[in-house]
Structure 1
Amino acid sequence: MEMETNMAEKHSGSQAETAEQGDQPTTAAEGAERESNIRERKVSWARLRRSDSLNMEAGNLSFNPTHHTSRQGSWGRTVSLAFQSIGVIYGDIGTSPLYVYASTFTEGIQNKNDILGVLSLIIYTIVLVPMIKYVFLVLWANDNGDGGTFALYSLICRYANVSLIPNDQPEDRELSNYRLDTPSDQLRRAQKIKEKLEKSITAKIVLFLATILGTSMVIGDGVLTPCISVLSAVGGINSLGQDAVVYISIGILIILFCVQRFGTDKVGYTFAPAICLWFLFITGIGLYNFFKHDVTVLRAFNPKYIVDYFRRNGKKGWVSLGGIVLCITGTEAMFADLGHFNVPAVQISFSGIVFPSLLAAYIGQAAYLSKFPDHVANTFYDSIPGPLYWPTFVVANAAAIIASQAMISGAFAIISQSLSLGCFPRVKVVHTSAKYEGQVYIPEINYLLMVACVIVTYGFKTTDKISHAYGIAVVAVMLITTCLVTLIMLVIWKTKIWLISLFFVVFMSVELVYFSSVLYKFTQGGYLPLAFSLALMIMMGVWHYAHQQRYVFELKNKVSTAYVSDLVKNRDVNRLPGIGLLSSLCLHKVHPISKVALEERFLFRQVEPRDYRIFRCVVRYGYKDLIEEPKEFERQLVENLKEYIRHEHFILDDGPVEQMPDGTTNVPHSGLLVDGKARRSSSSAVHVEDSLEQPVPPRVSSGSIQSFNASKSANSSNSIVAASVHDAGEEMQFVQRAREQGVFYLMGEAEVVAEQKSSLLKKFVINYAYPFLRRNFRQGETTLAIPHTRLLKVGMIYEI
């Protein structure tokens, strides 16, 4: 089977839907409705009858504007999800009070009024960025419930042809971008922007580079978050000395990465109650310090203190923004982890619990510092009342571990998405939870992150030095998110221009000011995330470029149905018992959709002559879908093939024959238009052969049905259709016996080389960089765990 991993969410004319109807008795009304549906489908088929029917269905998507949708459920479920999200999403932002003031006042507090200025900056930064931007705006820019940089990119690619991998086949243009819009000024503006984007290769490249830059920065957070969180938490016992704190932190980090193989569901959720306790602790401690030391710090709600702070400190105040921005670290997790929850759940948990807890913590610490300004280096632990010190220390370390766990798991999930979209070399992806689809574990990446964390912790030793690097990664991702959401507002949401301008100007201005501040400390550690991201971007860019070039080559050299048909007629071709899967895993048509329903995953079409039992098949996965082990995949494939056979016989037996405008006869054929012409196809063949001695029963091919003259009487037509019908039960038993005799894989092992006339850069990327990555990462059969005894590889060379 030559298999096309096609990322599509839905297709109209689902074979499973019709098949399901066939199992139940139908009333007259149901029958009329079914005939109406079939007639509607035929109209769509007729418009695209020159296209390959498999490609057509694979490209047939059904969308709703995603900013209006989320995983809706009862209020009880939403409240439950809101509670669960506290332990999953907010570990990073929740542990920021451990180090924000220390990272801001690195040289001590020179003026007590600076405390009010910094507190005012913290308050309004949290209000503007996490609350207004993310909770009430960005969360709605989800991709069918999934968030993150790749979700924004995939959403844009669905509505505009800006993907570097071609997605402009006839069926894509006809269906994928279809929306019924009322004419308006916003619609015309969106169409103009969309056309400019689609015509500009520069815009496509910039959009892709911005996406992988944001992705690389989030992966970088997977290195820096564990370091700064664990160091800050262990810092509560700094009486042992800085070296002891560093070594204890390294020990905790090693243990943390070693237990990742058990999965986020077991590791993270074991400590989830600690996050709730943590917010309870920081709220209580904050209120205690507020009422005991200085209630006048509430004056910081007046933004005048921000202006005074910058007037008084000038450049030093601007530089200090690199520490203040750490109060919103982990904000991106609210969007990136949205797929586990829904928009109302995240809005409730942040607005009702996280936001007031953080305000109480920062206000309480400011009240404490107004009385003890010389304690700024260890503000959090110094402000804890004596009896609560050690319980808080234990809860703080548990919270730091969960914060680290969330970002490590996020890095795994993003790499898994990148892998599915052809933007990352093959690695082993282990799905660790049946309950939460996005939770994965990647062994190779896990140990690379562990080594990087140990090196960073040992090299930097203190949180204020790590914070210089951390701030760049945090703000860079926010800037990219602002740009992508602005594009979505323009092209997809079609928001009024003044609202778009307000969104872009306000948040871009705030984030650019913070970004300029963190870049100031580039030489003091800020280079780390940029260097790390640059290395990742080069690797992802090289892999995606070669992947895209391979795709284009295979698209131009697709094996036609006629060629396959002629090949199987060759008497020199030996036929063996069992099922043979001719698989070309790199050949796929990318529709960037997060998940595909299991009942919509397989699409089949039988290759003529039908006697040889050869089928083309499209297997469609979303970028967050689990690719099954071979045994489970084979079971699903065979079950869906049998369902296709049963459904095909049902349609052939009951479906009417219709004359098409071009004079051919249209017979409903498993949801596909049958026109007797050889069609281009990038999908593949499933070869089912029961036995060498098994006689092949004669059948009337669909080609004879297609060529049937429409001028014949309806009775003659129906008799020919009936003559083509075989017993579905016998056919399905035949397929089941073939599976029991074995399933075998034939895979192409393609070597890619650059053409002689190519540029030096292209030759370097294709001939050296890409083969280096292929050799040092997993091969396709290794990733799919195909047994070697059932695998045959055929070598070939692509000159691109």
Structure 2
Amino acid sequence: MLSARPYQKSIPLALGDLGIVYGDIGTSPLYTIRECFHGTHAIELNGPNILGVLSLVFWSLTAVISFKYVVFILRADNRGEGGIFALTGLLRVESTSISARIRRVALSAGIVGAGLLYGDGIITPAISVLSAIEGLEVATSTAQPFVLPATCVILLLLFLFQRQGTSQIGKTFGPIMLLWFLSIGYLGLLQIIRNPEVIYAANPIRSIEFFARNRLHGMLVLGSVVLCITGGEALYADLGHFGTSPIRRSWFVLVCPALLLNYFGQGALLLKSPELAYNPFYGLVPKQLLYPMVGLSTIATIIASQALISGVFSMTHQAIQMGLCPRMRIVHTSGHIAGQIYIPAVNYFLMLACVGVSIGFGRSTGLAGAYGIAVTGTMAITSFLFFLVITHRWGWPLWGALPLIAIFFIFDLSFLGGNLLKVMDGGWFTLIAASLIFVIMSTWRRGREELGLRMNKERVPISVLLEDIEDHGVPRVPGTAVFMSISSSGAPITLLHQLKHNHVLHEKVILLTIQSLDIPVVAAGERVRIDDLGLGFYRVVTLNGFMQKPSVPEILELAQRSGLVLDSASTSYYLGRETLVTTGKSKMARWRKALFAFLSRNAATPAAFFDVPSNRVVELGTQIEL
């Protein structure tokens, strides 16, 4: 009985991950086969090509999702967490086996991957909901004028609902997606039974023959086949929510079989009814069930979109904690689940972008090229980072690592190449979006480094300051003052300014330094370190993982548990507000300085971001030249 318990516990987890982990890849049958035979670069519709495309789909799901992600990539967890930043974090730790150059390369690759994932976050809701609503056109041609307006309304409602959180309705995601996978698998199976010859598509020879027959056109179609593996990154990104075993079990037991049945069912349908190539997914559905299936498809795509939106919120939070993104207001939408957050600025950006691309491209077909580049680019970067992890962190020899990574790259680069050929068919949007995110993140990181160097030049060692205070006998007043400090050794600039202008100190002075680590979570017992510096001065250093939100009241509560005596009612918080002047001698380009200054002005204030009680905050301004 004891051995059965882990399996029993993983059943609800496996059900729960259907909506969050597999929403994206689970709704891909809506458009993948259609794009191959009725998209911008559609291939000729005949028996050999149908079997060739099905063979490519089969081996893409097998090699990329089952082999690469489910078997290998899921092993590269950062203390239980997955995702592009978790993978990057494994390579940013200070270690003699990982050089500074490797850490820089890994960080740059991670930022590029994050930019592509933001592009994915814009495109997925648009293409998914559009594809679902376009099913109405199969039922009646009069629905065509209403597809785009209905899509925009659904997207607007989806994003406006984000502030409410998903803690309640999220419980229904798993059962709904279970119904979805069972439905699409059953519909596909019916067609396979009627035309079983499609099973021969599982032979990899069909894929080789497809390329030999179609050559360059075959590569263009490969850019559409890749749509069947969208959502592969979600398996890895949601590792921390569900764990490896439930994700693997639900993939091999339900999701993968259901997807293959549906794809092969669409192929069987096209062998008999090629005129349905304009929407083979809905061609599988009996007419009397068409409207219910459109409804179920719409709900499934909303769930897939919700999962990706939540993923973008989480990734932004990680980027902020890793110093790659300006501070933003973060709202926790659940009192029980720490990971459920809402970031208003990101939400409204995604809302405008999703509605904008829906209107701009008009049809889901137009978005397929943009979607493919986002997916394949991220997958290639994940393979590259995984190679660095297994060679520099796990110590694999090159003779063992290179064959495995070569297999990964054969698929990744083939798919990426097929999509780069479609840059002018929508791929340009993803490249522009990813480039903008990369510029913003790299500029913010570089700007904070330059700002830190500039402030360090003006910083006084705390030992020197304490000697000066003792020698000159600075007057003390009752109460506690908390000064936020970037440095864990020097005196904060705000403390020096306070002394310069007020010539007085509180009886107790706390120098609070918040440090972010490249691990997901730091245990409560390891988060706070307290040093008694003498003369009523205490240095409190707190460590945070990139999945944790630093909250000053919470940190001080942990410090009190560790022995620091503190009266919150008589505590004042001194925060600095920098005014940046871009005429300094920093080596940053002038346009980067201007961008950094703009981002800094519009970032959330330290008081708001660190949950400092607003009625006890004192802000001291300082002007800094970059």
1:739 to 568, 576, 579: 568
Task: Say if 1:746 and 1:615 are closer, same or farther in 2 by CA, change over 3 A.
Answer: same
- Distance in 1 of aligned mates of 2:63 and 2:26: 17
State the Cα distance separating 1:273 from its structure 2 match: 1.7
Task: Say if 1:262 and 1:518 are closer, same or farther in 2 by CA, change over 3 A.
Answer: same
Query: Which 10-residue stretch deviates more, 572-581 or 552-561?
Result: 552-561
Q: Is the 8 A contact 1:339 1:438 kept in 2?
A: no
Q: Does 1:271 align with 2:100?
A: no
State the Cα distance separating 1:799 from its structure 2 match: 4.7
- Distance in 1 of aligned mates of 2:81 and 2:530: 29
Q: Which residue of 2 aligns with 1:98?
A: 30
- Distance in 2 of aligned mates of 1:794 and 1:573: 20
Q: Does 1:620 align with 2:522?
A: no
Matches within 5 A, 1:272-421: 272-292=174-194, 294-421=195-322
Amino acid at match of 2:538: F
Q: Which residue of 1 aligns with 2:85?
A: 150
State the Cα distance separating 1:594 from its structure 2 match: 1.0
Local SS of the residue matching 1:488: helix
Matches within 5 A, 1:710-729: none
Unaligned runs of 5+ in 1: 1-72, 161-176, 178-190, 646-731
Q: Is the 8 A contact 1:584 1:748 kept in 2?
A: no
Question: Which string of whole-angstrom CA distances, capped at 9 and with x for unpartnered residues, describes residues 501-523 of structure 1?
Answer: 11211111211111111111111
Question: Which string of whole-angstrom CA distances, capped at 9 and with x for unpartnered residues, describes residues 218-239 of structure 1?
Answer: 1111110000110111111123
State the Cα distance separating 1:278 from its structure 2 match: 0.1
- Distance in 2 of aligned mates of 1:436 and 1:156: 28
Q: Does 1:84 align with 2:3?
A: no
State the Cα distance separating 1:556 from its structure 2 match: 5.9
- Distance in 1 of aligned mates of 2:292 and 2:468: 74
Q: Is the 8 A contact 1:108 1:376 kept in 2?
A: no
Question: Which string of whole-angstrom CA distances, capped at 9 and with x for unpartnered residues, describes residues 108-160 of structure 1?
Answer: 64322110000000000000001000001001111001111110111111154
State the Cα distance separating 1:574 from its structure 2 match: 3.7
Query: Which 10-residue stretch deviates more, 546-555 or 142-151?
Result: 546-555
State the Cα distance separating 1:386 from its structure 2 match: 3.2
Q: Is the 8 A contact 1:601 1:620 kept in 2?
A: yes
Q: Which residue of 1 aligns with 2:366?
A: 465
Task: Say if 1:133 and 1:434 are closer, same or farther in 2 by CA, change over 3 A.
Answer: farther
Q: Which residue of 2 aligns with 1:780?
A: 606
- Distance in 1 of aligned mates of 2:468 and 2:6: 56
Q: Is the 8 A contact 1:112 1:373 kept in 2?
A: no
Q: Is the 8 A contact 1:216 1:537 kept in 2?
A: yes
Local SS of the residue matching 1:146: coil
Q: Does 1:237 align with 2:136?
A: yes
Local SS of the residue matching 1:74: helix
Local SS of the residue matching 1:615: strand
Q: Is the 8 A contact 2:199 2:264 kept in 1?
A: yes
- Distance in 1 of aligned mates of 2:275 and 2:351: 35
- Distance in 1 of aligned mates of 2:250 and 2:87: 23
- Distance in 1 of aligned mates of 2:558 and 2:53: 63
Task: Say if 1:389 and 1:542 are closer, same or farther in 2 by CA, change over 3 A.
Answer: same
- Distance in 1 of aligned mates of 2:63 and 2:348: 37
- Distance in 1 of aligned mates of 2:16 and 2:52: 35
Q: Which residue of 2 aligns with 1:762?
A: 589
State the Cα distance separating 1:408 from its structure 2 match: 0.7
- Distance in 2 of aligned mates of 1:129 and 1:348: 17
Question: Which string of whole-angstrom CA distances, capped at 9 and with x for unpartnered residues, describes residues 701-721 of structure 1?
Answer: xxxxxxxxxxxxxxxxxxxxx
1:132 to 59, 64, 67: 67
Q: Is the 8 A contact 1:433 1:440 kept in 2?
A: yes
Local SS of the residue matching 2:135: helix
- Distance in 1 of aligned mates of 2:292 and 2:310: 27
Local SS of the residue matching 1:157: coil
Local SS of the residue matching 2:256: helix
TM-score, length of structure 2 as denominator length: 0.90
Amino acid at match of 2:32: V
Q: Is the 8 A contact 1:594 1:623 kept in 2?
A: yes
Q: Give RMSD over aligned pairs.
A: 2.2
Q: Which residue of 2 aligns with 1:29?
A: none
State the Cα distance separating 1:443 from its structure 2 match: 0.5
Task: Say if 1:86 and 1:470 are closer, same or farther in 2 by CA, change over 3 A.
Answer: same
State the Cα distance separating 1:553 from its structure 2 match: 4.2
Amino acid at match of 1:770: F
2:109 to 198, 210, 222: 210
Query: Which 10-residue stretch deviates more, 583-592 or 213-222?
Result: 583-592
Local SS of the residue matching 2:220: helix
1:254 to 146, 150, 156: 156
Q: Which residue of 1 aligns with 2:441?
A: 540
Task: Say if 1:289 and 1:149 are closer, same or farther in 2 by CA, change over 3 A.
Answer: same
Amino acid at match of 1:254: L
Q: Which residue of 2 aligns with 1:789?
A: 615
Query: Which 10-residue stretch deviates more, 103-112 or 461-470?
Result: 103-112
State the Cα distance separating 1:453 from its structure 2 match: 0.7
Task: Say if 1:80 and 1:110 are closer, same or farther in 2 by CA, change over 3 A.
Answer: closer
- Distance in 1 of aligned mates of 2:72 and 2:177: 25
Amino acid at match of 1:88: I
- Distance in 2 of aligned mates of 1:79 and 1:752: 54
Task: Say if 1:103 and 1:221 are closer, same or farther in 2 by CA, change over 3 A.
Answer: same
Q: Which residue of 2 aligns with 1:119?
A: 54
Q: Does 1:429 align with 2:330?
A: yes
Task: Say if 1:392 and 1:567 are closer, same or farther in 2 by CA, change over 3 A.
Answer: farther
Question: Which string of whole-angstrom CA distances, capped at 9 and with x for unpartnered residues, describes residues 142-199 of structure 1?
Answer: 1001111110111111154xxxxxxxxxxxxxxxx6xxxxxxxxxxxxx4xx3xx33x
Local SS of the residue matching 2:134: helix
Q: Does 1:597 align with 2:520?
A: no
Q: Is the 8 A contact 1:92 1:330 kept in 2?
A: yes
Q: Which residue of 1 aligns with 2:501?
A: none
Task: Say if 1:777 and 1:748 are closer, same or farther in 2 by CA, change over 3 A.
Answer: closer
Task: Say if 1:84 and 1:423 are closer, same or farther in 2 by CA, change over 3 A.
Answer: same
Local SS of the residue matching 2:519: coil
Q: Is the 8 A contact 1:638 1:739 kept in 2?
A: no
Q: Which residue of 1 aligns with 2:118?
A: 219
Q: Is the 8 A contact 1:754 1:762 kept in 2?
A: no
Q: Which residue of 1 aligns with 2:507?
A: none
Task: Say if 1:458 and 1:562 are closer, same or farther in 2 by CA, change over 3 A.
Answer: same
Q: Which residue of 1 aligns with 2:498?
A: none
- Distance in 2 of aligned mates of 1:213 and 1:89: 22
Question: Which string of whole-angstrom CA distances, capped at 9 and with x for unpartnered residues, describes residues 356-407 of structure 1?
Answer: 1111111111111110112111101111123432332221111000000111
Q: Is the 8 A contact 1:290 1:363 kept in 2?
A: yes
Matches within 5 A, 1:410-559: 410-554=311-455, 559=460
- Distance in 2 of aligned mates of 1:496 and 1:79: 37
Amino acid at match of 1:606: D
- Distance in 1 of aligned mates of 2:275 and 2:356: 31
Task: Say if 1:757 and 1:739 are closer, same or farther in 2 by CA, change over 3 A.
Answer: closer
Query: Which 10-residue stretch deviates more, 262-271 or 389-398?
Result: 262-271
Amino acid at match of 2:539: R
Bigger Rg, structure 1 or 2:
1
Matches within 5 A, 1:699-718: none
Amino acid at match of 1:218: L
Q: Is the 8 A contact 2:121 2:312 kept in 1?
A: yes
Local SS of the residue matching 1:145: coil
Unaligned runs of 5+ in 2: 488-512
Amino acid at match of 1:280: L
Local SS of the residue matching 1:619: strand
- Distance in 1 of aligned mates of 2:308 and 2:561: 43
Q: Is the 8 A contact 1:604 1:641 kept in 2?
A: no
Q: Does 1:644 align with 2:579?
A: no
Question: Which string of whole-angstrom CA distances, capped at 9 and with x for unpartnered residues, describes residues 298-339 of structure 1?
Answer: 111111111211122121111111110000001100001111
Task: Say if 1:576 and 1:74 are closer, same or farther in 2 by CA, change over 3 A.
Answer: farther
State the Cα distance separating 1:255 from its structure 2 match: 0.4
- Distance in 1 of aligned mates of 2:133 and 2:373: 24
Work out which structure has the larger RCO, using CA pairs closer than 8 Å and 6 or more positions apart in sequence.
1
